[in-house]
Amino acid sequence: MSTIDRYDYIIVGGGSSACVVAAKLVREGRAKVLLLERGPAKANPIMHFPAGYMKFLAKDTYLSMHQTKPQPQLNGRGPIVPQGKVLGGGSTVNAMVYMRGQAADFDLWNELATSEGSNDGAWSYADLLPYFKEQEDNDHLAGEFHGVGGPLKISHLGHTSPMTRTYIKTLQGMEIPYNPDFNGARQFGVGFMQHTIDWRTRKRSSSVDAFLAPVMNNPLLTIETEATVTSLEMNGDQVTGVRYVQKGTSKQADAGKEVILAAGAYQTPKLLMLSGIGPEDELTRHGLKTVVALPGVGKNLQDHYECPVVATTKGSFGYYGQDRGWPMIKAGLQYLMFKSGPVSTTGVETCAFYDPDGNNDRPTIQMFCVPTVYLDRDVMGTEPGDGVTINSLLLRPKARGSVTLASKDPFDNPIVDTRIFGHPDDLRLTMAAFRFARTVLDASPMRDLIEKEIFPGPDVTSDDAVAAHCKRTVKTGYHPVGTCKMGRDSDQEAVLDLNLRVRGTRSLRVVDASMMPAIVSGNTNAAVMAAAGKAADLILA
């Protein structure tokens, strides 16, 4: 063991929340901070291009592939859930969608986290909106809901496909109104999605670019990559530091003030349990001594799940074939010379929010239009080609999964039990959304571009057949949250208090997506960053 280094704060994980917190602690708190990331320091430069992430979707270069537990209700399927494994985490590898969710999501957080009858709006939408705005530099929106001049660049994409524009027009004809701002007063509607892309350079604006880069050379900040934290160091209930392994060498670091966990909804509960903090029966099963019995660690897992309908088209209205040969070269040159064309898009440019049950003040489905044939890696049955995939994503599943230990080896991935469709309403809403997506394909002007439905095929119509299709094809939205939720003192499964401190311990907090008591209604990165901004203020208070 080498010499023990000492810091004010140690941050475990280098994703979006870690970057936000580290920057604020250094810049405003003038604190000495160590940030530990298990992945590399940088991704391939192509990942800065809006279309670049697609080259790495099925690779483990910057992703940790979590093979989830086989699900009986999915006939034994256990979908793979990738998580970012590089400095910047998901913000370095994701599809860059900037979607906050609904105001009611955060008001629910507040209700679940504050004492009954309390007027404290600590986690309400009104409380978090200033953090969203403070972080944001939007290229065309301002006013009540948006910020200008912040570090995080937000813009629309530099290119949209004919299929995208047709989809938006079609849904307006189906009584789903055009919504110019999903992050504004109301989410219901169809429109173009905002993205974390710098409109000047047409490059990704990751959490590293926005928050960490401005303090990267500050001597108060130390960043160690390819460093896997193996356990927390504790003195009774006081967390004093961490042990980690970097390139085969065991190291230790001490924190004079706090250790801050930001390793994500899978790795954060795993590290707590490896350190003796968690459900007593789970720790005993692996021969681990219980230091703090917290039954909620690893519980309450939520994610977004989506199911597709796929059709071929009468021509090329999307992006099939644009990633190879002369079309790829031409698109690359156009992007490098003019910052425009297919490379300036993520490929998924639009979505619609609605509720199949009719409560459009609180949409339950996010319906994406993918202008090509797109299926998850474990689903076979169609060949790539010109076409369109409409994915219906369930925003607030009622089923709750869990994260448990596979072993006490810190290098083993945990066991992820997703419990997809574990509640009947989740399957019911997904089936209803699938049926509605089919009607979109058959509505004008969309139907003018459609050749035929190829997956699952027009003969799949009965409830049993549609349910079987959903179970066969359901995939992750890449948004796991909730495994160390904050909650009231009376909630036996609340891991964190209102200030994100781990109950039963001192000098330990969680600031990543694990803290969410309930998943937000949309892509999670924006909410994670806003919550981390608030978390940094709580730490410095």
Which pLDDT tens digit goes with each residue over 283-309? 999 999 999 999 999 999 999 999 999
529 contacts: CB under 8 Å, gap ≥ 6: 16, 17, 20, 91, 135, 152, 207
Question: Measured between alpha carbons, how far is 256 from 375 in angstroms, rounded to an integer?
Answer: 48
pLDDT of residue 377: 54
Average pLDDT, stretch 530-534? 98
Q: If you average pLDDT over every residue of the chain, what do you get?
A: 96
Of 130 and 380, the structure prediction assigns the larger pLDDT to 130
Question: Measured between alpha carbons, how far is 92 from 101 in angstroms, rounded to an integer?
Answer: 21
pLDDT of residue 531: 98
Longest dimension (CA), the chain: 69
pLDDT of residue 1: 46
Lowest mean pLDDT among 33-47, 104-118, 297-311, 346-360: 104-118
Q: What is the secondary structure of 272-338 as a DSSP string?
A: HHHTTEE-HHHHHHTTPPPSEE-TTTT-SBB--EEEEEEEEESS--S-TTTTSHHHHHHHHHHHHHH
Average pLDDT, stretch 351-355? 98
Q: Which of 48, 146, 156, 479 is catalytic?
A: 479
CB atoms under 10 Å from CB of 19, counted, come to 32
Average pLDDT, stretch 172-198? 98
Q: What is the secondary structure of 336-374 as a DSSP string?
A: HHHS-SGGGS-S--EEEEE-TTS-TTS--EEEEEESS--
> Is position 479 annotated as part of the catalytic site?
yes
pLDDT of residue 115: 85
CB atoms under 10 Å from CB of 164, counted, come to 23
pLDDT of residue 141: 97
Q: What is the secondary structure of 152-178 as a DSSP string?
A: EEEB--S---HHHHHHHHHHHTTT--B
248 in Cβ contact with 60 (< 8 Å): no
Average pLDDT, stretch 493-501? 97
Which pLDDT tens digit goes with each residue over 416-457? 999 999 999 999 999 999 999 999 999 999 999 999 999 999
pLDDT above 90 covers a percentage of the chain that reads: 93
Which pLDDT tens digit goes with each residue over 386-421? 999 999 999 999 999 999 999 999 999 999 999 999
Question: Measured between alpha carbons, how far is 371 from 348 in angstroms, rounded to an integer?
Answer: 7
Average pLDDT, stretch 259-284? 98
pLDDT of residue 4: 86
Q: Which CA distances in Å does 504 have to 3, 237, 276, 277, 308?
A: 29, 7, 12, 9, 44
Instruction: Name the band, by pLDDT with cuts 50, 70 and 90, for residue 376.
Output: low
pLDDT at 314 > cutoff 50: yes
Q: What is the 3-state secondary structure (H, E, C) of 225-249?
A: CCEEEEEEEEECCEEEEEEEEECCE
Instruction: Name the band, by pLDDT with cuts 50, 70 and 90, for residue 382.
Output: low
Question: Measured between alpha carbons, how far is 394 from 304 in angstroms, rounded to an integer?
Answer: 6
CA-CA-CA-CA torsion sign (354, 358, 361, 363): negative
Average pLDDT, stretch 132-149? 98
Which pLDDT tens digit goes with each residue over 481-494? 999 999 999 999 99
